[in-house]
Structure 1
Amino acid sequence: MNRVAFADRVVLVTGGGRGLGAAYCRELASRGAAVVVHDNGSDTEGRGHDPAPARNVAAAIVDGGGRAVACVADASTESGGREAVDLALSEYGRLDAVIANAGIIHDDSFEEWPTDRFEALLRHHLLAAFHVVRPAFAVMKDAGYGRVVFVSSAAGVFGQPRLAGYAAAKTGMLGLMNAVALEGAEFGITANAILPMAATRMALALMADAADTADGREFLDTLRVDQVAPVVAYLASESCDRTQLVLSAFRGRVAALQIGVTRGWISENGMVSAEDVATHLDEITDTDDLMVPSSIFDEMAYLA
């Protein structure tokens, strides 16, 4: 088995100062990567600024004999994303992979969700990914090589109560992944995603007082960051030549998400009524002949 290695590779990790992001940084550095630890140190709702988390992770990697530099700009802004990419280039002369991991959390019943909080979730997850990946994509395109890993969530793909903003932002990451994968294919750029679960400060924020109970602690103990970080390392590596791959990782299990479309029902005359949908719903939802398209064109060709 060939070792997944990052010799001479440079990886930028957004939200790299704590939790899973810090675990990704450590895992990548242990495999030889030079790491840009990008984190402005805000709290779980996106407020405040603390340079210590990013600098501490970078310093620990350097103290251990690795290569790392901290960027404490705000990834949710266009200038902050560009600053991190520019730092990778000025410090190491290249940028080979990006882990779009930055984000915040807020939970509320749907009818009570404040607009500013919903917008903040989109900004700190989806826009933060866009603001870093867009300038990184140009660098990778010129180099003819790149790896992009978007950190999505099962809370969005499958749903979780009280997380409207988080779910919308995290599912949007998959749409961004699809576009980057398709546009990057001819330039040696892959784009994949992960649905992780781990005991991080965001998980603790959601669990609130339940995290301090015996059952809560036992549950969190089963969700370790070291069960996720190696999966991200693989997706960010040269060893991974797949694109548009979405992996779920937690509790030692790694599984693939498949988003498919059924064969469905086809109208003989091209006309469809609401009554037709009701009549043929069982045929429409029959998954026996499920197809997994890699683009919108694949689904259109399915009818040919």
Structure 2
Amino acid sequence: MNRIDLAGRVVLVTGGGRGLGEAYCRELAHRGAAVVVHDNGSGIGGRGHDPAPAQDVAAAIVDDGGRAVACVSDSSTDAGGREAIMLALREYGRLDAVVANAGIIHDDSFEDWPTDRFEALLRHHLMAAFHVVRPAFAVMKDTGYGRIVFVSSAAGVFGQPRLAGYAAAKTGMLGLMNVVALEGAEFGITANAIMPMAATRMARALMADAADTADGREFLDSLRVDQVAPVVAYLASESCSRTQLVLSAFRGRVAALQIGVTRGWISETGMVSAEDVASHLDEITDTHDLLVPGSIFDEMASLS
């Protein structure tokens, strides 16, 4: 098996100052990449600014013989995203991959979710990805090569109670990934996603007091960042030629998410009533021979 080598590549990791983001930075640097550690050091709720996390990770990589630079702009803003891209180009002269990992957390029962918090989750996850990936895409399009990794979550795709804003933002990342993958294909740009689970400060915050129990500690100890970071390294590498791939990674298992539609029921007349839906629901929901479209056009073509 050939070693996946990122020597000569430049990778930008948002939210790279702590947790999984830090693990991604270190893994990528270990494989030879020059890393832009992008993190404004806010708290898990999105407030505050601390340059230390990004600077510390970049310094540790350099001390280990790697190449890294810190960027402490706010990726949830247009200016902050562009600043990170420009720093990569000024420092290293190129940009080969982006890992859109930045985000915050807040939990509450749905009826109590404050509007400003919901908007903040969208801003710090989905908009942060958009603000970095959009200018990065233009750079990659010009060079004819790029690898973009969106960090999504099973909490969004499958759902998790009390995480309305987080779930909406993380699922939105997959919609963004799909479009970037389709538009980037002719320019050598792949766009994929990962749904990771690991013992991070966000996970501990959600568990609250349970994180300090024996069962809680055992659970968190089983979710290691080193079980996830290599998956991101693969997706950010030249070895990954697949696009629109979504991988779930935790506890040593790597699996692929399949988003598809059933073959369904087709009306012979082309007309559908509410009663038709009720009477054919078993056929409509039968997952045998699931269709996994690569785009909206693939689904439309399945009926032609």
State the TM-score, normalizing by the size of structure 2. Answer: 1.00
**1: distance between equivalents of 2:42 and 2:204?**
16
**What corresponds to 1:74 in structure 2?**
74
**What corresponds to 2:211 in structure 1?**
211
**What corresponds to 1:263 in structure 2?**
263
Cα deviation digits, residues 163-215 of structure 1 (max 9, x gap): 00000000000000000000000000000000000000000110011000010
**What corresponds to 2:129 in structure 1?**
129
1:94 is paired with a residue whose SS is coil
After superposing on structure 2, the runs of 4+ consecutive aligned residues of structure 1 that deviate more than 6 Å are: none
**What corresponds to 1:224 in structure 2?**
224
2:265 is paired with a residue whose SS is coil
**1: distance between equivalents of 2:243 and 2:99?**
14
Q: What does residue range 17-96 of structure 1 map to in structure 2 within 5 Å?
A: 17-96=17-96
**What corresponds to 2:98 in structure 1?**
98
**What corresponds to 1:193 in structure 2?**
193
Cα deviation digits, residues 126-153 of structure 1 (max 9, x gap): 0000000000000000000000000000
Cα deviation digits, residues 241-274 of structure 1 (max 9, x gap): 0000000000000000000111100011111010
Cα deviation digits, residues 66-123 of structure 1 (max 9, x gap): 0000000000000000000000000000000000000000000000000000000000
Q: What does residue range 119-158 of structure 1 map to in structure 2 within 5 Å?
A: 119-158=119-158
**What corresponds to 1:171 in structure 2?**
171
**1: distance between equivalents of 2:192 and 2:202?**
23
**2: distance between equivalents of 1:27 and 1:126?**
24
**1: distance between equivalents of 2:13 and 2:144?**
20
2:288 is paired with a residue whose SS is coil
Letter in 1 for 2:21: G
Letter in 1 for 2:220: L
Letter in 1 for 2:18: R
2:49 is paired with a residue whose SS is coil
**What corresponds to 2:248 in structure 1?**
248
**1: distance between equivalents of 2:237 and 2:45?**
31
Letter in 2 for 1:231: V
**What corresponds to 1:6 in structure 2?**
6
Q: Which structure 2 residue ranges, 5 or more long, are not aligned? A: none
Residue correspondences, number: 304
* Higher deviation after alignment, 32-41 or 286-295: 286-295
**C-alpha displacement of 1:7:** 1.1
Letter in 2 for 1:12: L
**2: distance between equivalents of 1:244 and 1:67?**
29
Amino-acid identity (%): 88
**2: distance between equivalents of 1:301 and 1:284?**
18
Cα deviation digits, residues 28-78 of structure 1 (max 9, x gap): 000000000000000000000000000000000000000000000000000
- Is 1:235 the counterpart of 2:249 in the alignment? no
**1: distance between equivalents of 2:285 and 2:267?**
15
State the TM-score, normalizing by the size of structure 1. Answer: 1.00
**2: distance between equivalents of 1:216 and 1:286?**
38
**2: distance between equivalents of 1:191 and 1:150?**
7
